[in-house]
Each structure stands twice: as structure tokens, then as C-alpha cells.
Structure 1
């Protein structure tokens, strides 16, 4: 039997409310309450988008012919994770492979979570470079995640060449979790991450409830 008292669980998910808009999910979220006729219990109709709150983007988000979220192995969304704390960043700086490789924590098959330790205004946040994305592919990570301390792409780039990092990661079958929260509350840099998407056929992306599970050192 799993004794959860030996573990610390950290919720890494954004709390979404239909009545409150905030950066990262100022997208449609409407709830309509109704009752099920035969037993009079409550049910909700949800009107929203696939990129609401903390969400994971699958390959078909970038190219429709690639796999949708429901076609990806469930094992991708659970496993050992490494938190890469990026320090010494400057405003609008590229996050390169050398920045990601500094602490040597990434192992093949890991989930990689990225966080910039020094806070910046939204328009000054560092961003992941194509070089950094290729390094993550080469290291064999199966899933990456970011919070709102950095951008995945260089801000201000124009279509159709404005998503080079998405191109590198999603073409290689590496889904992307965006708008994680509470990465600053993680006490250790390695842990178990669970971030399960909805199993709805055809979805390019899905909201997730992301949690980190860390073993308490005394046990």
C-alpha cells in the first residue's frame, strides 16, 4: 500500500475560474449548470478551448497530420522529472543548450521542466532557443513544461516562421506543457510528475492537472 504521508505533493496547475481572467488563460471558459432529468442531479456544460489554463500541446497542434493528444502513449505524461532552474538570465535572453546543460540533471526519458529564477516583466522574459530545443531532443526527454517565467518562442516573430521551437519539439513527438505554476515551491530538482490530458479523439491540446510527487527525505 502506498503511504502518501512519506511524500510531498505539489499542485503545479493553474486555478481557472469563469469569473476571473488572468495572463495565460484569458480564453473562453463558460459553465452552464443543468439537471439530469431522470435523477435531478447536477451536470455542467463546459464551453472552453483546448488551451485553457495549464495545458499540454500535442504534435497536431503544430501540424494537423501529426498525432493528436489521444494518440500519444499515456506513459509520456507520467514519470521522472527534472527541474532546470535557469539563473543569471538577462532580459529577452535566448535560453541556449549551454544554459540547459549547466546542472547536468537531465537523463534520457526524463520530463524536463524549465523555470527562470530571476523574475522579469512579460515583455522581457527570456525565451527558449532552437538550439536549446534541439538539445532537449538529443538528450531524449519525452515531455517538456514551462511556467510563466519564460517564453517558448521569441516574442514578436511573424508567421509562418514564428514557431521554430514548436517545430523542433512537436515534430519529434515531444509534447509541451504550458502555464505551469508553483515550480518555485519544489524543494528538490528531481521528482515524479503526473500531468494527464483528456482522452478526447482529435484534440490538438488538453488541460491537465499537473502534480509533482516528492519523497520526504526522512523516509
Structure 2
């Protein structure tokens, strides 16, 4: 079985010394802007200007500012990228076994990821975490080894596997609300109450919320209609 390489946010890996220096200058420019604390200046054009490269050169290696930000955070957090990939593969295996355990573990994985990055990056992560596209990075990096979809699609297949009578339209709607709740509630905890991320009470409450919604029975579930 192949072992995934380290996750990267760049479009392609620089091979020549000059290209590596260009990418390094882009990352360093992003760091400097982050340290200044002005979110309005974290743009692709401003990063390129500060790095002393053209915007065309920037887009050769990064699709947007979020990709640079993610690369910087992962570069400054040794082992985090591999941990993200391992968690993703583990959840991919667990989801075929138990709906309840998968949702419980999904909450724990999400809370722990936020906790780790808060510990490693502090105010920078708290200020910019909503701009970081973790799901896109994981999807592009481990798709050769694991079938990865968006979180919503992933949850939809989870629901259909454990509730085969559930209509696909109902599963899609339910997956959307579960994914939104998980993402938004944990993001608000990062913003307002980061200490809650380590709280078993918070984790259990969120787990119950997701599980109750996942197992909700309505008259429309088997008909493909939206419940009133």
C-alpha cells in the first residue's frame, strides 16, 4: 500500500533553486502581513508585491491567498499535514461501521484540529481560520489513496449507507445542515470561546445535536419532499 506524501497547498512543487526561492519569498511575505495584523492587506496582489514577484508568478504556484496562508501554517506546524491526512483516512474507514461513532469522532477530530492550530499559531489562527481551505487541501492531497468528497457529500453518503430508506434528496438536505452546524459552531467557538473546544460538555452537546438531526424521522424522508 502506498504511503501519502506530505500535504502541500501549492499548485505545483518548485524544483529549481530559483523557483524554491520565489515560493519561499511568497510565504515570507504572507508571514509579514500576518504579523502586522491587518486582514485587509492579506490579498494575492499585496503578497506578491511584498514578495517582489509578479502576480503571474504568484498564480503559477498558488491559486489564491488562502492557499499561501494554509502553506504557511502547515510549514510552521511540523507533522500537522500528515495528521490531517491520517484523520481523514481514519474517518473514511470508520464511516462504514457506525453512524453514531463516526459523528462522535468527526466532532472530536474537528475540535482537536482547531485546538492544535490555536496552540501553534495563537492569534494568527484565531484571526484567519475562516479563510483556510483545509477540505480542499486534504481532498487534492489524499485523493490518490482515499475517496474524498466535500464534507457535505461525505455526510450524505454516510447517511445513505446507514439509513438506506432515506431518500437521496432528504439525505442531501440533512447532510448540508449537519456540515453547516459542525463547521459554524466550531468556528464560533474558535472566535468567541476557544476553551470550549477542549470541553467534554461542549463536544458531547455538539455530538448529540448532530446525531439527533442525523437520525430524525420525518414523513418526507422516503418521498424526496422537503419536510415542513
Give yes or no for TM over 0.5: no
If you compute each CA radius of gyration, which structure gives the higher value, 1 or 2? 2
| TM, length-normalised to structure 1 | 0.26
**Which structure is higher in RCO with an 8 Å CA cutoff and minimum separation 6?**
1
* Structure showing the higher strand proportion among its residues: 1
What TM-score results when the alignment is normalised by the length of structure 2? 0.25
Greater fraction of residues in helix: 2
